[in-house]
Amino acid sequence: MPRGLQLVFIAIALVVIGVLLFYIWRQSRILSEHRLRQRKTEEFQARRRQEMVESIRLVAMAVEAKQVEYSEACLRLKGLLEHVEPELLEDPKYRVFQQVHDKISHMPTHRARLNTDSETLRKLDEERFAVEEEHADEIREAAALIRHHPFN
């Protein structure tokens, strides 16, 4: 094989090697950036979950100390548990949060309450207080249990 042809093949091989090295380097960077984003996402989700667990415990303590209305506590606990461990809402010990939520979820809250006439609000509040009274013991027991629940 002529010497010139050998040099051409060597040059082509070096160009191919260079292109492959560039491709490998680029893929490596993309992979490391993906891993970094994934790790940050997992850390964020873990931190968010821990904050929700702390919120569950705080609401449960507020129930035990009678610092919050039971209906509001059930709404909050149901929402938090849906994100943290939704299967607990099916557990008989904690099902009361779902039951109370279902009974009062049609009632207006926040701004919607401001736009509702006082007579309707009075009737809805009576209904809400009746639900709270009906489930008060269950709510207190469930709050005490959920406060000490070992969230995984």
Q: How many C-beta atoms surround the C-beta of residue 127 within 10 A?
A: 15
pLDDT of residue 116: 84
**Integer Rg of the chain from CA:** 30
**Is the predicted pLDDT of residue 152 greater than 80, yes or no?**
no
Domain ranges of the chain: 3-147
CA separation for the pair 146, 143 (Å, rounded):
5
Average pLDDT, the chain: 94
pLDDT digits (tens, 9 = 90+) for 90-144: 999 999 999 999 999 988 887 878 788 889 889 999 999 999 999 999 999 999 9
